Structure 1
Amino acid sequence: MLTARRFLATLLLLCGLAAVAVGVPSSWAKQSVLDTDRYTEAVAPLIEEPAVRATITDALVTAVESQLSVPDALAGPLRRVVAGVVGSDAFVPAWETAVRSSHEHAVAALRDEGKGLALDDGTLRVELAPLVEALVPRLEAAGIPGASALKRVNGTIELVSSPELATAARAASAVDRWGTDLLVAGTVLLLAAVLVSPRRGTTLVVGGLGLLVVSAVHLALFRRLTADAGADASSTRETAGLVIAALGDGAEGLVLATAVAGGVAVVLGLGVLLVSRRAVS
């Protein structure tokens, strides 16, 4: 009987740790990549970063030049006007609207709910229309010929392309329906292992140590992901690093919660073992 309980406790413990190990990154991907409110909250403030502004400025200048015949003499003034608009407070609402709308369409594409913007290829695109709408009055004031025609421009601009974003998007798509449930299942399995085990103190210690190991591995992986995304010195790669870092804030919170749970389990397990030994002696 004891042997069967030990075997069952060990099996539940291993399954619980495996579920948590998969559930933490899955839950992060689902909440940060697919939740439009959290995504917008994380990405929209990046407009304050010089690297992001530079990337958006380059993309908008390219978009304008592809639609209009801008004389060489106005190329410099065009870039200065665009950079001034992107760096202004008035641009922030347009940027937030573009980020939110683009994400909604990207999620629809990942879920096959309609034709949206591809995200699973690692390319983060932002809709052009809200940004151009904020840009047109300043272009007209600067004397850029044909600027009013830009009001009818649709499409997207590529903010960043990164294999790390592709990894996060594919993971989010794969766990869209059951990502968060894995954490719940893992917690239930670990608690069941403790209840079934004939040596609850030992099971608590081993389970807690397992959670600490899982947390350490996850933290190392998330930090490696952020470092790789921003390894290149170019503004585009720096932007990728900033986006991954912003989305990764929620990941570190989940990792910390897992580590705290592991630490508590170890302390409780040691306490149970100490009480048991004193009772025996």
Structure 2
Amino acid sequence: MLRTAFATLFVLLGCLLAGPAVAAFVLVEEITDQESYLDAVAPLADDPEVRTAVADQLSAAVDGSVPEAARQLVDQSITSFVESDRFRPTWVELNREAHPQVLGLLRDDGGGLAVEGDAVVLDLGVVATDLKARFVADGVPLADRIPEIDAQVELMSGPAVRQAVPSFELLEQLSIWLPVAAIGLIVLGLVLSARRGTTLVVTGFGLVVVMLLMVLARWFLRSELAARSPSPELAGPFYDALTSTLSVVLWVVCAIGGVFVIVGGIIAQRASRRAR
């Protein structure tokens, strides 16, 4: 009985660590590696909400520099550009430049973060320059006289990010050791247990409960981040993109926990029959 009690304690500790272990392992790889980051956010170029937000910001920045009679044509040109195939590579380059800002904000590295108002900023100035040439080609009146356009979108604020991910640096440091510790404790508990079927059931239930709590936490933090960010229509999709892999892994581990419950129940039933 004492062996089984210690075994149960070990697997429960392993299950508790499994939640932050999965989050650390997946998020650190997804966010710190630039190519993984770009692969995650590149599909946002096809998101209607993202396109609308970028088009609105560009229109707001450009409209003040063109005659009022030409603004409708300018807005049409901007919308046409944002909805074209040319927007996707431009979007990727914008996020390539923003990636160091994201890391600096998560790591609370103020020295390496050149942003305004403690926020990640997408600089749309390059896009605006390309649009100026497009306006000239589209025949927008006085387009060649449009001055240099300063267009920026504040994506995520520092306080909102730090509330969603309070200690990213700690996650980075533990991204390897947490999974090893969680797996090690669960395996140790299963090996030590005198009733492995029952312990396997406990492990499965523990994993299911912890993973479901992580899913709920992801959903709650998403709503909080979007509500507290200066551009919620962009912050929400960004959060979804960067945590989509985490969501999949959480459900996979949850399913593994369900398998453990079923297999453990079968083993425990057979052991009970042998005992009788």
- The TM-score normalised by the length of structure 2 is 0.81
Moved more, 164-173 or 89-98: 164-173
2:136 equivalent in structure 1: 140
TM-fit CA distance, 1:92: 1.6
> Of residues 46, 57, 62 in structure 2, which corresponds to 1:59?
57
1:31 equivalent in structure 2: 29
Amino acid at match of 1:188: G
Moved more, 239-248 or 87-96: 239-248
Contact 1:117/1:125 (<8 A) preserved: no
1:93 equivalent in structure 2: 89
SS of the counterpart of 1:176?
A: helix
TM-fit CA distance, 1:52: 1.1
Q: Residue by residue, what CA displacement relative to the aligned partner does 1:85-130 show, whole Å, maximum 9, x if unpaired? A: 2222112211111112211343245444962355996x44223344
Distance 1:182 1:103 in 2: 25
TM-fit CA distance, 1:229: 6.0
SS of the counterpart of 2:153?
A: strand
TM-fit CA distance, 1:250: 1.0
> Of residues 178, 186, 192 in structure 1, which corresponds to 2:182?
186
TM-fit CA distance, 1:34: 3.1
Contact 2:198/2:264 (<8 A) preserved: yes
Contact 1:139/1:147 (<8 A) preserved: no
Contact 2:101/2:120 (<8 A) preserved: no
SS of the counterpart of 1:177?
A: helix
TM-fit CA distance, 1:17: 1.4
| Structure 1: stretches of 5+ with no match in the other structure | none
SS of the counterpart of 1:158?
A: strand
TM-fit CA distance, 1:40: 1.8
TM-fit CA distance, 1:256: 1.6
Distance 1:52 1:242 in 2: 8
Amino acid at match of 1:270: G
2:19 equivalent in structure 1: 21
Contact 2:30/2:36 (<8 A) preserved: yes
1:276 equivalent in structure 2: 271
TM-fit CA distance, 1:36: 2.4
TM-fit CA distance, 1:22: 2.0
Please, what is the CA RMSD of the aligned residues? Answer: 3.3
> Of residues 248, 259, 274 in structure 2, which corresponds to 1:253?
248
Contact 1:56/1:159 (<8 A) preserved: no
* Structure-to-structure mapping, 1:175-214, within 5 angstroms: 175-214=171-210
TM-fit CA distance, 1:162: 9.2
Amino acid at match of 1:216: L
SS of the counterpart of 1:89?
A: coil
1:217 equivalent in structure 2: 213
Contact 2:132/2:144 (<8 A) preserved: no
Aligned in 2, Cα 1:29/1:196: closer, same or farther, shift over 3 Å? same
Moved more, 109-118 or 93-102: 109-118
TM-fit CA distance, 1:58: 2.1
SS of the counterpart of 1:125?
A: strand
Q: State the number of aligned residues.
A: 271
Contact 2:32/2:103 (<8 A) preserved: yes
Q: Residue by residue, what CA displacement relative to the aligned partner does 1:36-70 show, whole Å, maximum 9, x if unpaired? A: 223222222222222211211122234446xx743
Contact 1:29/1:171 (<8 A) preserved: no
Amino acid at match of 1:267: I
Distance 1:166 1:118 in 2: 16
Q: What percentage of residue pairs aligned between the two structures are identical?
A: 29
Amino acid at match of 1:263: G
1:78 equivalent in structure 2: 74
